[in-house]
Amino acid sequence: MEEITEGVNAVNLSGESQKKNRIQVSNTKKPLFFYVNLAKRYMQQHNEVELSALGMAIATVVTVAEILKNNGLAIEKKIMTSTVDIKDDSRGRPVQKAKIEITLGKTENFDELMAADAEERDTGDEEQHS
């Protein structure tokens, strides 16, 4: 599935400049919670995060967004779908890929939930060391 990540980069270069709070999800073997945790970090830094994906990676983006919403960390701000032409060298012509962009914002109690989560992890570490 290498062509998907190449396509994401191509879309990037031709589209707007790279945003600091955008996560481009590719169809790699990265675990789901890699993206969930990255999105949390981006929301802490920028108050919102934009999740973006092409083709088969769209399901991952939707799942990440739903996990964040169901845990009370994020609210949906905007969902945009489109199709993009990706150059496919093997076929010699562009292929169309579905694209999704989901913008999530922090909920009012985001910081409280993140602090409670961090505290829980800290006390868990102390119990293991004693």
DSSP string, 71-92: TTSEEEEEEEEEEEEEEETTTT
Tell me the C-alpha distance between 80 and 78, whole Å.
Answer: 7
> Does residue 60 form part of some domain?
yes
The answer to whether residues 68 and 40 touch, using CB atoms and an 8 Å cutoff, is yes
Q: What is the pLDDT of residue 91?
A: 80
pLDDT digits (tens, 9 = 90+) for 87-114: 888 888 899 999 999 999 999 999 999 9
> Does residue 7 form part of some domain?
no
> Does residue 17 form part of some domain?
no
pLDDT digits (tens, 9 = 90+) for 2-44: 334 444 444 444 344 457 899 999 887 789 999 999 999 999 9
> Does residue 115 form part of some domain?
yes
Residue 47: domain span: 22-121
Residue 34: strand, helix, or coil: helix
**pLDDT of 45 above 70:** yes
CATH of the domain at 51: 3.30.110.20
Neighbour tally for 88: CB within 10 Å? 14
State the Cα angle at 116 between 130 and 64, rounded to 5°. 115
Q: How many domains, in total, are found in the chain? A: 1
> Does residue 105 form part of some domain?
yes
Which residue in 17, 7, 102, 1 sits closest to 54, CA to CA?
A: 7
Confidence of residue 128 (pLDDT cuts 50, 70, 90): low
> Does residue 5 form part of some domain?
no
> Does residue 2 form part of some domain?
no
